[in-house]
Amino acid sequence: MSSSDIRQAREPVADQASTSTFVSGVFPRRRGLIVGLSALVGFLLTVVWSAKFVDSTIGDSIADTMLGHTAKGAEIGGIAGGIAFAFVTGLAGTFTACNIAVFGAMTPILGTTTTRWSRVRATLRPLLWLSVGMTAVSATYGALVGLVGTSMPQFSTAKNVAGTLSGRSVQSMVVFGLIGLTMVYLGLAALGIVRDPFAKLSQRFPNAPMVFMGALVGGFLIGRPFGLFRQLFRDAAESGNPLYGAAAFTLQSLGNILIMAVLLLLTSAVLGGQLRHWFAADPRRMAIVTASALIAAGVFTFLYWDVRLLAGRGILPWYPLAPWT
């Protein structure tokens, strides 16, 4: 093989121009390896992930500290109390795999401009559009819960029975299964393996991908079984007030992304320059980072909520689990 052939094999695959936020148009070689390693990371996360640790040890502790009393099982205490409870429990549920993945996929945005404040502004803009999509979904779902919530599966307090699936478990499986598969598809699109679903839409509406990612974050509430969120859900459902439901669920989502958004802005201000040089040194890195975050989280979400859940209910015979889960 000649030296020119060797150089060509190492060069990125430039099949198209950038088509949307998450598709740079410069694709790395050995894309199958990237997909395989990312999927393996997602699978291994399902093996070691402890919902009890994330929800109770971290989530409940944060909520108890901020509210000044034990949050779980406590009376929420009217609309004002519900608004505070919504925001605090949103913060408490920050560190989920899906949240981390969404913001991990935004990392390439951090290094797109030169000066510190221009990087912060460039990062703030997609965050605002993400909030638009998130708010649209969470407010709509909250209003729906305020109207008809007492008859929805998430309202149920029935215990799960081995060998069967409760209505709320089916709802979680459907919602998170679809979110997981969507993330995997977007990760594959970032690598140029499948078509960019936003290619044409982004020509007219450049912020459409970020609005859609926000809608995915808002969709977490539709399937989320987090105990403190279900407590808020029941309060909004029993209130019969769609405006309260919309406001509470919107604040729940905003609280859910606040810490990650602040961390993203701080990273942009402090490390954005280094990231810009790092991405510029090899254009393939942008696609690799974006795709890896989305595929790993998508595989985790689908396997955790659709396969591991079935095994946990005794419907599937076995799923590998770490002892501490």
DSSP 3-state helix, strand, coil percentages of the chain (rounded to 5)?
75, 0, 25
Tokens standing for 221? Answer: 């509430």
Alpha-carbon dihedral angle through residues 197, 289, 99, 190, given to the nearest 10 degrees: 10
Evaluate whether 221 touches 253 at the Cβ level (below 8 Å): yes
Alpha-carbon dihedral angle through residues 191, 197, 200, 203, given to the nearest 10 degrees: -70
Beta bridge partners of 13: 27
* Short-list 126, 122, 103, 124, CA closest to 113: 122
Element (H, E) at 235: helix 227-239
The CA-based angle 261-264-267, given to 5 degrees, is 150
User: What local confidence, expressed as pLDDT, does residue 100 receive?
Assistant: 66
Beta bridge partners of 27: 13
- Look up tokens 């950038």; give the residue: 18
Evaluate whether 234 touches 155 at the Cβ level (below 8 Å): yes
- Look up tokens 């709802």; give the residue: 171
| Interatomic CA distance for residues 306 and 206, integer angstroms | 33
Tokens standing for 147? Answer: 């109207």
> Cα–chain-centroid distance for residue 33?
24
Contacts of 6-12 with C-beta under 8 Å, sequence gap 24+, read 12/282, 12/283, 12/284
User: What local confidence, expressed as pLDDT, does residue 192 receive?
Assistant: 93
Residues lower than pLDDT 70 in the chain: 1-19, 73, 95-114, 226
User: What local confidence, expressed as pLDDT, does residue 101 receive?
Assistant: 62
| Interatomic CA distance for residues 323 and 205, integer angstroms | 48
| Interatomic CA distance for residues 31 and 194, integer angstroms | 12
Evaluate whether 209 touches 20 at the Cβ level (below 8 Å): yes
Rounded to whole angstroms, what are the CA distances from 240 to 159, 234, 305?
Answer: 25, 10, 30
For residue 254, how many other CB atoms are within 10 A of its CB?
18
